[in-house]
Amino acid sequence: MRLEQKVALVTGGGRGIGRETSVLLASEGAKVALFADDEREVEETADFIRKQGGEAIAIFGDVRSENSVNAAAQTVLDAFGRIDILVNNAGVMIIKPFLEMTVSEWDWIHDVNLRGVYLFSRAVIPHMVNQQSGVIVNVSSIWGTKGGPNRSAYISSKFAVIGLTRALAEEYRSANIRVNAVCPGPVRTKMMEDLAPGATRFCSGNSLVKTTTIRKLSSLPAPVKPRPISTTGSERTRKASWWRTCRSGSIRTP
């Protein structure tokens, strides 16, 4: 197994892309900690992984809360002794014209989509620095690479995730920590269905969900359901934590 003895922490791990990613990581041998704000979903996903022979723990909390995030990181360290992989996947969206969006809605989206990435990275990076190794995968969006109507808060938050990713990649590559972002197109998830019932029929065929790896990023066509962000690959890109190109909905290293 390619990720045996590795420990992964996945936010938003109870459903959608986060769930599929967690299941895949476990199937590759990683010990997985799932963090989410829906206790039932995250427990169900962790239980599914355990029934498949994997090792997983469920952590209920709020990505917006510094105390909750710090406690989650400590829970993972207490349970597994280390954190090798962080997948910042948790995210929310509201589709609404700019002038109709309230300040509280704007703050909520940015607190989940950006502050959550900041808080979890801040909680985990010191341990990765001590290990002199680690991988952080931030889930941005195809909307983090272009503009569009009625999604101003979501788009700006996802652009910011890419900016933070670039900054951290440069700052911590000397500690052998690689920081990458993936930018999925439309994916058939519960969030998408809740936002626009029936619209998920457009999520098949023309969408891409990108897979990211511990040492390499590679692309994976998305069918009608979410596919995982995987963490495998070649030694070739181990030394490369900086950004090279953005195409086909994915930010990638060389």
Catalogue the active-site residues.
Answer: 154
Amino acid at 24: L
Cβ proximity of 16 and 40 under 8 Å: no
DSSP-derived letter for residue 234 is: -
Phi and psi at residue 199, in whole multiples of 5°?
-70, -15
Write the CB contacts of 130 (distance below 8 Å, at least 6 apart in sequence).
Answer: none
Q: Is 65 left (phi over 0), alpha (psi -120 to 50) or beta?
A: beta
E strands within the chain? Answer: 7-11, 31-36, 55-60, 85-88, 134-139, 177-182, 208-212, 217-221, 245-247, 250-252
For the packed helices 39-51 and 16-27, what is the interaxial angle rounded to 10 degrees? 20
Phi, psi of 86 (to 5 degrees): -120, 125
What's 139's DSSP letter? E
CB atoms near residue 42 (< 10 Å): 28
